[in-house]
Structure formats: structure tokens, C-alpha cells
Chain A
Amino acid sequence: MMLRRPLFWLILLLAAVFAWLPKHGNNVALREDLILVAVAIILTSNLNLMIGYTGYVNFGHIVFYGLGGYVGLYLMTVRSWHLIPAALTAGVAVSVLALLFGLGILRLRGAYFALATIGVLEAVQAFVSNFESWGRSTGMYVSFESYVPMGGPKHALWLTYFLIIGVMALSLMLSLGIRRSKFGLGLFAIREDEDAAIVLGVNATLYKAIIYSVSAFLPAVAGALMFFKNGMIDPSIAFEYMLSLEGIVMLMLGGQGTVAGSALGAGLYERLRSYLLTSPRLSAFHLVIAGALLLLVIRLAPGGLIGWLYRLVPRSREVIE
């Protein structure tokens, strides 16, 4: 089924290009640029499962990424686990935690749910900042020994890069798979009218809790990989509220509810942000520009760039999605 979707092959092609480009010329600068794009795509496409598919705005999505980083680094540095099992365990642990949070806060709807997600982010950050085993506010550092089983730092960083590209491809495949499934249809029904969906037979409580938990898994894996690559983690970089908000901007820019839109928005916005942050004149302005961009998108193209394309060329929707 999936093999017949053009988007499936586009995702594989994207991942292959991402993997090949920097490795080909051993271009580490390009690798560092692309890894940020890949992480942006991972976060945005998983956020899309909540906002775009289910209609629940999650302002605290970054909490999964940060917690994944913490669990992963704890397992690698304190427990001396290898990168891959540590990252997978981080994903599972954070998903289970999200399921528990979800069963609680998903009783809320609309603005109340959105506020509760900010509460979850703040509460987790406050907990981690005071948690002895995770280094409180100073965080944790990756020790040199952690690189040894992977053949030294240089190899370890390339391995991490390829793994993140893999997680990016999986995130997009997951979005595509859910979009075309019965489970996805139930989520869309909840997005359109939750009460009507329940009367039509959709078990909304269960569906919402599952998708909230699923949307936590790959971001948590990515967090473990990315903070390993960075070599350290502390509460302020792990739970950066701005990054959570920017994820929403990326999603709206590209087109919420669509697979291609989440990737496109994340890619474009991440490149723009990197340009602005490194430009000497504009670096202080990047959030102003993000805000203006969000307003323009909502006003002029509520479906985002992809939504605009789909409206212009209706055939493209069937081909791409």
C-alpha cells in the first residue's frame, strides 16, 4: 500500500540525499546544518500528529525531546549503555510517561488543553532542575569513554548523524502511514467534531491518549541522539520553550495536517532561522520575523504553503498525499 505512494519514495530520496551530501565531501559544516533541519522535521512532523491530525494544540511538545535527551544521556553516561539501546529506551520511557500525562490532560479541550501542555513543560523542567541524579541545573556531560565503543568521537558523530536522518525518515513515514489508516481517519473525525466522532463510534479518549504517546516517541529518540552529539544537556537547553513555539510556526508555515507540509515548513523555517541567527544585523530579530511570518501565513494562506499549492493545483494533493 505505502509502496505505491509517491511520497514514500520522496521521503526515502530525501533521507538518501541528506545522508549522502555531507558524507560525500566529508563536509562537517554541511552536516551540522542538515542535522538541525532533520531535527526540525522530526519535531514538526510529530507535532503535526497532535495539531494537524487531531486538532489538539500542544505548546509543550519540546518536553518529549528534552526528556528523551535526559533519559538517553543518563543511560549512556551513568549506566554506560551504548547509544542505540539508550536512545530507544529513552523513546519508550518518554512514550509511556506521555501516555500517563495524556490520560490526565486530554480530558481538557481547546484552550484548556493548550494551557495544560505549557503546565506539563514547566512542571517537568522544574522537576529536572532539582533532580539530583540528573545533575540538577548544571545537567550532565558526555564523557570521553562513551565514544570508545563507536570507534572514537569522529565515527560516533557520523553514526549519530545517520541515525537522526533515519529517525527523520521514520517520522515522515509514520505521519504518512497514520494519515492513510483507519486510526488516522478516527483522529481526523476527532479534529472536525469530537462529540460527533464519539457518537459515530470513535473511542476518542483512547485515540487521543495513543496519538499523544506516539507523538512523543521519535522526538524523544531524536533528543537522546542530539544531546549525545552536543555532548551535554541542561534544563534550559533541553526544555527551550521558544523551540516549542517555533515548531508551531514551522507547521503552520508548511501546512498543518499534511505530511509534506510539515517537512517543507520545518526545512524552510530552520534554514531561515539559521541565516538570521548568524547574520550580524538580524540575529536579534529572528523571533520578530517568526511572529510576522506566522501572522502572514494565517492571514493569507491558512493551509500553509502546501495548502496553497493543493488549492492551486488540486491534482497535486492526490499525487503527494
Chain B
Amino acid sequence: MTDLLQVRGISKRFGGLQAVADVSFNLGEGEILGLIGPNGAGKTTLFNLVNGVFKSDAGTITFLGKDITGRSPDQVVHLGLARTHQIVRPLSGMSVLENVIVGACFGRENQSMREARATALEVLERVGLADRANSSARALTLAGKKRLEVARALAARPMLLLLDEVLAGLNPTEIGQMIALILSIRDGGVSVFMIEHVMQAIMNLSDRIVVLNLGRKIAEAPPAEVVKNADVVEAYLGFPDIVDKLRGAQ
């Protein structure tokens, strides 16, 4: 598997808070890489560093063999790295269709308005929002807005998609639909890097998982190994040696 994304030693400090500290990992082509960690672990900050919303204090980020460290988010999208927001940010005064047209127009293929319209309709069909195309983005439910986030990012025709908690706040049926969508995105040749708190989902979806705690990477392994990792369990549950105690109880 060739590496699509290589992150080497990136860090971000906000005043006295070391939000991300010396994090390195690789993401392979066609892979779904999960990113988990307790609240405040620095997951969204790591996303913001990768897509250029924040500039890293140190280290390098390489995407498709190009050094993208310090590039702005709009340049990163043109190269094929798109993302969604944890707190949804629809362009409220525009229709659902127009929102997705923006994604297509300013994405990797830099499409014309006409092409972008066709792309947007196709993507809306795919995420299940085709019947809402002409309604205002403001009028969508939370689940609808999360799908809109995914649709806009997909319309950019990315090679790598960063999904920031697209399952949070959805009911079980909606979660099932979103999981199917994520798998279909990967089957369409797009790699996925996703933050998620819905553990069952991320354990089933991910090929590998990176675990952050207090800004540091504490594990990087396939899901089955991550759940057995003592540091990870401790980070989530807070007791040292809890893994041994749990094993003893079995």
C-alpha cells in the first residue's frame, strides 16, 4: 500500500496548552484510518493542522508526495484533500444544491458551473439528499446537515476525505446509512481519515486506528489491538493497571 498522507512530528501550542505534540503517522491509499481519543485529546486540532486551518509549529505534512505544510485550506482542497466539520457549517442562505455546487466548483477539478451542477446532483443522490436539493440548507435536520457536509466534501472529488464526527447526534438508523455511505466512498477509491466517538462504528469501519491523548499519539494499530492496548484503556477509563484488573476478573 502506497502512502497518500505522511505526517511527521507536527505540533500545535495554544498559549499554555500543547494541543498536539509531535504526532506522526501514515495513511495508505484506499485505507480508512480512525482517529480516537478522549475529549480534548487534540483530534480536531490535528485535522485542522492536516488541512491547513492551523499552521503547524513544527514537522511536515506530505500529501501525494507534495509537501503541504503551511498551505491554506483552499490550496489543500485543490490538491484533493477535503473535510467535513464536527459542528456543521452549512451556507445557510443558500439551497442544499448550491452548497454542494460550491464544493464542486472550488474542488480538485475546479469545475465550471455547468459541470458542478451535474456533479452536485449526482453526489446528492448518493448521500440521500436528492429530494431536498432545492430546500434551504438552514431547513435541514442535523442528520441532513451532516450529510450535506459529506456531500460538499465529496463534490470536491477528493483523494482523501477527513470526516470529523459525522455520526455524532444521529439515531441508529441514520448511523447505519452513514456507515454504508462511508464504505461506499472507500470502495469508490477515496481514502478516509475519520474522527469518531461511536466506538462500535469506528472499530468496524477502520483498517487502523490512531489514538491521541493530551495531544500525543499513544497508539496506532488495527482495531482489535487498540482495544487491548493498556495505555488506550487507561486514557479512556483513567485507572492505571485497569487492563490487568479486568483480565483478572475474567
Contact = CB atoms under 8 A, between A and B. Distances in A.
A308 B112 CA distance: 32
Given A181-B113, A182-B112, A188 B91 contact: yes
A189 interface: yes
Contacts of A204: 74
Interface stretch (B58-66, B77-85, B224-232): B77-85
B168 to A, nearest CB: 18
A192 B148 CA distance: 15
A193 interface: yes
Interface residues of B, number: 27
Interface string A182-213: 10011011011101111111111000000000
B94 A186 contact: no
B91 A199 contact: no
Contact of B89 (A195, A201, A202): A195
B93 A202 contact: no
B113 A185 contact: yes
**Interface residue tally of chain A, by bracket?**
10 to 19
A99 B29 CA distance: 42
B184 interface: no
Contact of B113 (A182, A191, A201, A203): A182
Contact of A189 (B72, B102, B112): B102
Given A185-B98, A185-B105, A192 B73 contact: no
A155 to B, nearest CB: 44
User: Which secondary structure dominates chain A's binding surface?
Assistant: helix
B74 A203 contact: yes
Contacts of A188: 91, 93-94, 98
A222 B72 CA distance: 38
A199 B51 contact: yes
B152 interface: yes
Contacts of A199: 51, 53, 73-74, 77, 83, 85
Nearest to A55: B93
Contacts of A196: 85, 89-91
A182 B91 CA distance: 16
B93 A191 contact: yes
Nearest to B91: A192
B71 to A, nearest CB: 12
Interface string B83-127: 101000111111000100111011100001100100000000000
A302 to B, nearest CB: 12
Nearest to A205: B72
Nearest to B84: A199
Listed residue (B73, B98, B107, B156) with the most chain A CB atoms within 10 angstroms of its CB: B73
Contacts of B51: 199
Interface in B31-86: 51, 53, 72-74, 77-78, 83, 85
B112 A200 contact: no
Listed residue (A181, A191, A199, A201) with the most chain B CB atoms within 10 angstroms of its CB: A199
A201 B93 contact: no
A85 B183 CA distance: 62
A195 B90 CA distance: 11
B210 to A, nearest CB: 22
Nearest to B110: A201
Contacts of B91: 188-189, 192-193, 196-197
Nearest to B88: A196
Given A181-B113, A185-B101, A188-B94, A193 B89 contact: yes
7 contacts: A182-B105, A192-B92, A199-B53, A200-B74, A200-B156, A201-B106, A204-B74
Interface of A: 181-182, 185-186, 188-189, 191-193, 195-204
Given A185-B101, A201-B78, 19 more contacts: A182-B105, A182-B116, A185-B102, A192-B92, A192-B94, A196-B90, A196-B91, A197-B102, A198-B74, A199-B73, A199-B77, A199-B85, A200-B103, A201-B106, A201-B107, A201-B156, A202-B106, A203-B72, A203-B74
